[in-house]
Structure 1
Amino acid sequence: MRDFHLPGRSATFATNGMCATSHPLAAKAAIDILQQGGNAMDAAIAGAVLLGICEPQMTGIGGDCFVLFTKPGEDQIHALNGSGRAPKAADAAALRAQGHATIPLNSAHAVTIPGAMDAFCQLSDDHGRLGLDTLLAPAIHYADQGIPVAPRVAHDWPTAGKMLQGHGLRHFMPSGTPPKPGEMFRAPGQAEVLRRIAKDGRAAFYEGEIAEDMLATLNAMGGAHRAEDFAAQRCDYTTPVSGAYKGANLVEHPPNGQGATAILLLNILKHFDIAAMDPFGAERVHIEAEATKLAYDARNRFIADPAHTTRLDHMLAPETAAKLAALIDPNKAMAAAKPLSEAVHRDTIYITVVDRDRMAVSLIYSIFHGFGSGIASEKFGILLQNRGAGFTLEEGHPNELAGGKRPMHTIIPGMLTEAGRVTTPFGVMGGSYQSTGHARFVSNLRDFGLGPQAAIDAPRAFADPTGLKLERGYGTDVAQALADKGHEVITDPDAIGGAQAIQIHASGVLEGGSDPRKDGCALGY
Structure 2
Amino acid sequence: MAEKPVIGTKTMVVSPHYLASAAGARILGKGGNAFDAAVAVSATLAVVYPHMTGLGGDSFWLTYSTEEARVRAYNGSGRSGYGVRRSCYAGEGAIPRRGIRSAITVPGMVDSWDAMLSKYGRLTLAEVLEPAIGYAQSGFPLSPDQRNNTLFAGATLSAEASAIYMPGGVAVSAGSRFQQTQLATTLRTLAAGGRDAFYKGKIAEDICDYMLAAGGYLTRDDFADHQGDWVEPIHAEYHGHKVYQVPPNSQGFTGLMSLNILEHFNFGEIEHGSYEYYHLLVEALKLSFRDRDRVLTDPDFSTIPLVQLLDKNYAGQLASTISMQKAAQLTSQPIGSDTAYAAVVDEEGNAVSFIQSLYFEFGSGVVAGNTGILLQNRGSFFSLDPNHINTLEPHKRSFHTLMPAMACREGKPVILYGTQGGEGQPQTQTLLLTRMLHYGMNPQTAVSEPRFVWGRTWGEPTQELKVEGRVADEVLADLAGAGHIVRKVEAYDGSVGHAHAISIDDNGYRSGGTDPRCDGAAIGW
Please give the range of the TM-score, normalised by the shorter of the 2 chains: over 0.9
How far did 1:217 drift?
Answer: 3.2
**2:20 aligned with 1:23:** no
The CA distance in 2 between the partners of 1:143 and 1:246, in whole Å, is: 44
- Contact (CA 8 Å) 2:98, 2:156: kept in 1 or not? yes
Report the residue type matching 1:458 in the other structure. E
Report the residue type matching 1:293 in the other structure. K
Tell me, what secondary structure is at the counterpart of 1:450?
coil
Q: Match of 2:295?
A: 302
- Contact (CA 8 Å) 2:55, 2:374: kept in 1 or not? yes
Report the residue type matching 1:323 in the other structure. Q
Question: Which residue among 338, 344, 350 is the counterpart of 1:353?
Answer: 344
* Deviation readout 1:164-195 (Å, 9 max, x if unpaired): 12212122222322222201221111111110
Question: Which residue among 484, 489, 506 is the counterpart of 2:486?
Answer: 489
- Contact (CA 8 Å) 1:461, 1:470: kept in 2 or not? yes
Q: Match of 2:384?
A: 393
* Aligned CA-pair RMSD: 1.6
Structure 2 unaligned spans of 5+: 457-462
TM-score calculated relative to the size of structure 2? 0.94
Tell me, what secondary structure is at the counterpart of 2:62?
strand
Question: Which residue among 396, 404, 407 is the counterpart of 1:405?
Answer: 396
The CA distance in 2 between the partners of 1:117 and 1:414, in whole Å, is: 21
Tell me, what secondary structure is at the counterpart of 2:83?
coil
Report the residue type matching 1:227 in the other structure. R
Q: Match of 2:238?
A: 245
Q: Match of 1:175?
A: 168
Report the residue type matching 1:234 in the other structure. Q
Tell me, what secondary structure is at the counterpart of 2:168?
coil
**2:460 aligned with 1:468:** no
Q: Match of 2:460?
A: none
Q: Match of 2:280?
A: 287
* Deviation readout 1:311-359 (Å, 9 max, x if unpaired): 22221112322222222221112223241xxx44321111111111110
- Contact (CA 8 Å) 1:57, 1:160: kept in 2 or not? no
Count of residues in Structure 1 that have an aligned counterpart in Structure 2: 514
Question: Which residue among 415, 436, 443 is the counterpart of 1:424?
Answer: 415
Q: Match of 1:107?
A: 99
What are the residue-to-residue correspondences of 1:192-211 with 2, within 5 Å? 192-211=185-204
The CA distance in 2 between the partners of 1:492 and 1:212, in whole Å, is: 45
* Deviation readout 1:278-304 (Å, 9 max, x if unpaired): 211222211211222211111111111
- Contact (CA 8 Å) 1:73, 1:357: kept in 2 or not? no
Q: Match of 2:509?
A: 509
The CA distance in 2 between the partners of 1:164 and 1:490, in whole Å, is: 30
Q: Match of 2:447?
A: 456
The CA distance in 2 between the partners of 1:160 and 1:92, in whole Å, is: 27
**2:306 aligned with 1:312:** yes
**2:373 aligned with 1:382:** yes
Pair 510,74 (structure 1): closer, same or farther in 2 beyond 3 Å: farther
Tell me, what secondary structure is at the counterpart of 1:285?
helix
Q: Match of 2:183?
A: 190
The CA distance in 1 between the partners of 2:473 and 2:172, in whole Å, is: 35
* Deviation readout 1:16-55 (Å, 9 max, x if unpaired): 2110111111111111101101000000101110111111
Structure 1 unaligned spans of 5+: 4-8
What are the residue-to-residue correspondences of 1:13-412 with 2, within 5 Å? 13-95=7-89, 97-100=90-93, 102-111=94-103, 112-307=105-300, 308-339=302-333, 343-412=334-403
How far did 1:94 drift?
Answer: 4.2
Q: Match of 1:518?
A: 518
How far did 1:93 drift?
Answer: 4.5
- Contact (CA 8 Å) 2:99, 2:158: kept in 1 or not? no
The CA distance in 1 between the partners of 2:11 and 2:102, in whole Å, is: 39
- Contact (CA 8 Å) 1:347, 1:429: kept in 2 or not? yes
Tell me, what secondary structure is at the counterpart of 1:300?
helix
- Contact (CA 8 Å) 2:150, 2:165: kept in 1 or not? no
The CA distance in 1 between the partners of 2:186 and 2:240, in whole Å, is: 46
Report the residue type matching 2:296 in the other structure. I
* Deviation readout 1:356-409 (Å, 9 max, x if unpaired): 111001111111110001011111121000111232223233321111111111
Tell me, what secondary structure is at the counterpart of 1:70?
strand
Tell me, what secondary structure is at the counterpart of 1:61?
coil
Report the residue type matching 1:53 in the other structure. V
Tell me, what secondary structure is at the counterpart of 2:169?
coil
Pair 46,92 (structure 1): closer, same or farther in 2 beyond 3 Å: same
The CA distance in 2 between the partners of 1:350 and 1:328, in whole Å, is: 31
Stretch of structure 1 that moved more, 496-505 or 68-77: 68-77
Stretch of structure 1 that moved more, 148-157 or 498-507: 148-157
Aligned-residue sequence identity (percent) comes to: 36
Report the residue type matching 1:104 in the other structure. P
How far did 1:163 drift?
Answer: 2.9
Pair 221,318 (structure 1): closer, same or farther in 2 beyond 3 Å: farther
Stretch of structure 1 that moved more, 437-446 or 112-121: 437-446
TM-score calculated relative to the size of structure 1? 0.94
How far did 1:247 drift?
Answer: 1.6
The CA distance in 1 between the partners of 2:295 and 2:272, in whole Å, is: 31
- Contact (CA 8 Å) 2:165, 2:172: kept in 1 or not? no
